[in-house]
Structure 1
Amino acid sequence: MSSDPWGRVDETGTVYVRTADGEQVVGSWAAGSPEEALAYFERKYEGLVVEIGLLEKRVQTTDLSAKDAQAAIAHLREQVDAHHAVGDLDALRQRLDKLVQTVEARREERKAQRAKQSDEARKAKEDLVAEAEQLAQSDQWRAAGERLRSLVDTWKGLPRLDRKSDDELWHRFSHARSAFSKRRKAHFAQLDAQREEARRIKERLVAEAEALSGSTDWGPTAAQYRDLMAQWKAAGRAQREHEDDLWNRFRGAQDVFFAARSSVFAERDAEQSENLKLKEELAEEAEKLLPIGDLKAARAAFRSINERWEAIGHVPRDARPKVEGRMHAVERAIQEAEEAEWRRTNPEARARAEGLTGQLQAAVDKLKTQIEQARAQGNSSKADKLERELEGRQALLDQALKGLQEFGG
C-alpha cells in the first residue's frame, strides 16, 4: 500500500484521491507498483493544472468570447469532477469557479462597452442627420454638396445600430440629401430658364436695333436706341454661348446708325473731343477697379462709372475703339469674375464651357478665312472691320480656354 498527501493505493490496486467530500476512487492499477500508479495519476493532475492555467491566460489576455470560455470551463470541470487524477482537485474547482466569475465580469464589461459604443454611434449619427437637415436648406450649392458627400463617408465608417433605429436615422439622412439635390436642381433649372428668356428678349432687341440702323431720324432713333439699351440691361445675361454674339450684333446695329449720325454732325467734333477726355478719365477710374477683389463693390462702382459714361455722349469715331476697349476690358474682367462665381456653383458649367470653346474656335477660324478673302479682294475696309471683330472673338476664346483650365480640362 502506498500513499501521498492527495492520494493512496490500497492492496487491491485501487487508487483513491482525497477531497473535501472524502476519498474518491480514481481508478485501478495493476501494471506496476503503487508509486507508479500515483505518479501516473499525478501527471494527469498536472495536465489539468496546465490546461486551467492556459485557459486563465486566454481569458485575461485575448478576446475569447464568453460562450467559448464557458464551454472550455465546463469541459475542464467535467474532467475535474470525474476524479481521474491525484492532486488538490478542490483547488482546481475553486480556480474554475473564480474563472467563471472572471468570464461573467468580462462579459458584463464587454456588454457595457458595446452599449457605450452603440450610444456613441447613435449620437454621432444623430449629429450627422441634424447637420444634413440643416445643409438641406443651404443655398451654398457647392460647399453644401461637398459637405453632404463627406457626411456620407463618415456615416459609412460608423457601426450599425439596431435595425429600427438605424433605418429611421438613415431615412432622415437620405431625405435631407434628396431635398438638397431637388432644391439645387430646381435652382439651376430656374437659372437656365432665366437665361433662355434673356436670350429670347435679346434676339428681339437685336432685330429691332438692326431694323433701326438705317434710320436718318437722328433724335427719335437715338432715343429708341437708348430705350433698347435699357431693355437690354434689364433682360439679364443669356447663356454664355449666345451672349457675346447677340451683343456684337446689337452693338453693331447701333454703330451703323451712330456712325451715320456722326458724319452728319461733323460740327460737333469739338464737343466729341471733350467727351473723349471725360471718357478717358472714366476709363482710368474704371481701370483702378482691377484686379477685382470685392466683386459686389466693383460691380456697383462700375455701374456708377458706366452711367456717367452713357450720359457723356459720343467721342470722335477714330478714338472710340480704344477708349471703349479700355472700358470693355474692365467689364469683361467683372463678367469673368461673375462667371467664375457662377461656375463654382454650377456643376453643368464644364459642358457648356466646352461647347462655347468649340463655337468660338469655329467663329475665329471663320473670321480668319473671311479676312483672307477680303484682303484677296482688296477690300481693306471690310478686312479691318473683321480684324477688330476677330480680336474680340479671339479674346473671348482665350477666356473660354482659361475657363476650361479652371475645370482642370
Structure 2
Amino acid sequence: MTIGRATAPEIPAKEKVNTMSGENPDATQFGRIDPGGTVYLKTSAGERVIGSWQAGSPEEGLAHFARRYDDLVTEVDLVAARLNSGNADPASTASAIKKLRVSLDEAHVIGDVDKLAARLDELASRSEAKVAEAKEAKSAARAEAVARKEALATEAEKLAADSTQWKAAGDRIKAIAEEWKTIHGADRKSDQALWKRFAAARDGFTRRRGAHFASLDSERKVIATAKEELIAEAEKLATSTDWAETADQLKGLMRQWKEAGRVAPDAEQKLWKRFRAAQDTFFSARSEAFSARDAEFKENLNQKRELLTQAEAIDVEADPRAAQAKLREIQGQWEEIGRVPKESAGGLQRRLRAVDDKIRAALDVAWRRTPVSENPLLAQMREQVDKAERQLERAKNDGDAKRIAAAEEALNSKRQFLELAEKAQ
C-alpha cells in the first residue's frame, strides 16, 4: 500500500518510533533486497516479502521503503495526537487505530514494525478505554436527561391536579415547556412517554382552569358574602378597648380575608375600604391610648428619678436608722407613682436597691457595735425585719402581685413589733 506523507503534530517522546530514513540510516537492520530485486522486511517473526525493486540500487530501494515506513509512523502520530487531545470521537479514533494495526501486517515498508505494532496495540487499549468512558458518560447523560424530564413531568402533573394559583401555575407550566426544549440526550422511547405525560398534564390544567373561571361569577358571590361577614365582625371590634385580644382577633380576620379569595376588582376595592376603615378605627384608638400611657410612664419615670436622686443623697453614715426611715418613705412614694417604661425599670430598681443595700450594711455595722447587754430579742426582731424587706424586694422583682401583697403585710407587721420593742427598750 502507498500512504501519503503529512506533517505530524508534536508527539510525546515516549510515543515516538524511530524512522528509517532520518534516525536509522542502516536499512539492513529491518530489511534487505536480494540480487533478484525481491524486497524483504525483517521482523521478530522472521522475514516476509513486501515487494520488488528494479528501479535503482539496493540502497535506493531500501530508502524508498523506509520512507514509506516514515509515512506510516506519521499517520500513527496523527491518530495518537487525536486520541491525546480528547476532542475527537473515541469510536472513530479506535476504528482508525484498528485499521492501522490490521494494515501493518501487510504493509510494504521497511522499519521497526514490531515496535510500531506494540505502539498501536497500546493506543488501541487506550482508545477502547476512552470508548468505554464515552459510553458511560453518554449513558449517564441519558439517565440525567430522563431524570430531569421525569421531574418536570411529575411537577406538571402535581400542578395540574392540585394547584389553584392559576396564574403562577400557568406561568410555571409554560416555563417547564421551555426548559423541556433545552434538555437533550434522553432515549427516544422515554422522551416520547414523558412528553405524553407532560402534555396530558398541561391539557388537564388548562381544562380545570377554564372550568374554574367559568364558575367564577357564582364563587365571587360566595366570596362577597363571606367578606361582608368579616366586615361586620371587624366593625363590632372597632370600638373595643381590649387592645391585645382585639388586635389578635383583627389579625385573624385579616388572614381570613386573604384566604377568602377575590371578587371583581371594583367590588373588591369597595369591600376592602370598609374592612380597612374598621381596622383603622381600632388601631388609631389603640395608638392614642398607648401614646397617653407612654406619656404617663414618662412622667412616672421623671418622678422616680427625682426620688432616686433624693435616696442617693441620704447621709447613711450619720444616722443609719434615720436613713432607713427616709428610704422607707421614698419607697412608699415610689410604689404610689406607678409603672415606668419597661426599658428603664430595671436600671432604676437596681439603683434604688443599691441605696437600700448601703443602708442595710450601715445598720449591720451599727448593730454589731451594740453592747452585749442589749436585748437579744430586739436584735432578732431586726433581723426578721431585714429578712422581710429582702423577701418583698424579691417579690417585686418577680412581679408576683400575690407575693408582693403578702410580703408587704408581713413586713408592716414586723416593723410595728420592732418599733414597739425599740420604744420599750
User: How does the TM-score come out when normalised to structure 1?
Assistant: 0.47
Larger Rg: 2
